Amino acid sequence: MKDIQPVTVVMVEDEDAHATLIERNLRRGGIINPIVRLKNGQEVLDFLFNQGQFTGHVRPSHLLVMLDLNMPEVDGYQVLHTMKHHEETRLIPVVILTTTNDPHEVQRCYELGCNNFVSKPVDPVAFAKTIQSMGVMMAIMSYPCCL
């Protein structure tokens, strides 16, 4: 049996308060994995493709991207499209975590290749419970190794 490699969670969230709430509730849900927080789509693309401020860094080989859709510079749709059209990133699981629950937007994300779509509830208590549930789910999932 192969060694189990830790999965690094890449949280792409431009709102500081949401990022704090997400991380806190993932931890409450049992996630002990490293979490890398990036603030916009360009930062995550630079991180994934070793560009810009991440030139020369060693990217973890096992990733899960939690991606907001509405971000400055490069939005989540563009990030998802880019990831799924490059051989080196196409297998990285992507969970969309955003405020929209418009069925057309959900469909668009699945068509672009997301693995899961979670709408952020407006109510803070419901939001916390949703993220904790995601943490529990993520703790038992298996992830493909990146190429």
> For residue range 72-109, what is the model confidence (pLDDT) as tens digits?
889 999 999 999 999 999 999 999 988 888 999 999 99
Contact indicator for 27, 61 with CB cutoff of 8 Å: no
pLDDT digits (tens, 9 = 90+) for 27-62: 887 788 899 999 999 999 999 999 999 999 999 888
Which uninterrupted H or E stretch holds 66? strand 63-67
Residue 136 scores a pLDDT above 60: no
What residue segments make up the domains of the chain, in order of their start?
8-140
pLDDT of residue 37: 97
pLDDT greater than 80 at residue 131: no
More confident residue, 81 or 138: 81
H helix intervals, the chain = 16-28, 41-48, 76-84, 103-112, 124-140
Residue 147 has pLDDT above 50, yes or no: no
pLDDT of 110 reads 94
Q: Which CATH architecture has domain 8-140?
A: 3-Layer(aba) Sandwich (3.40)
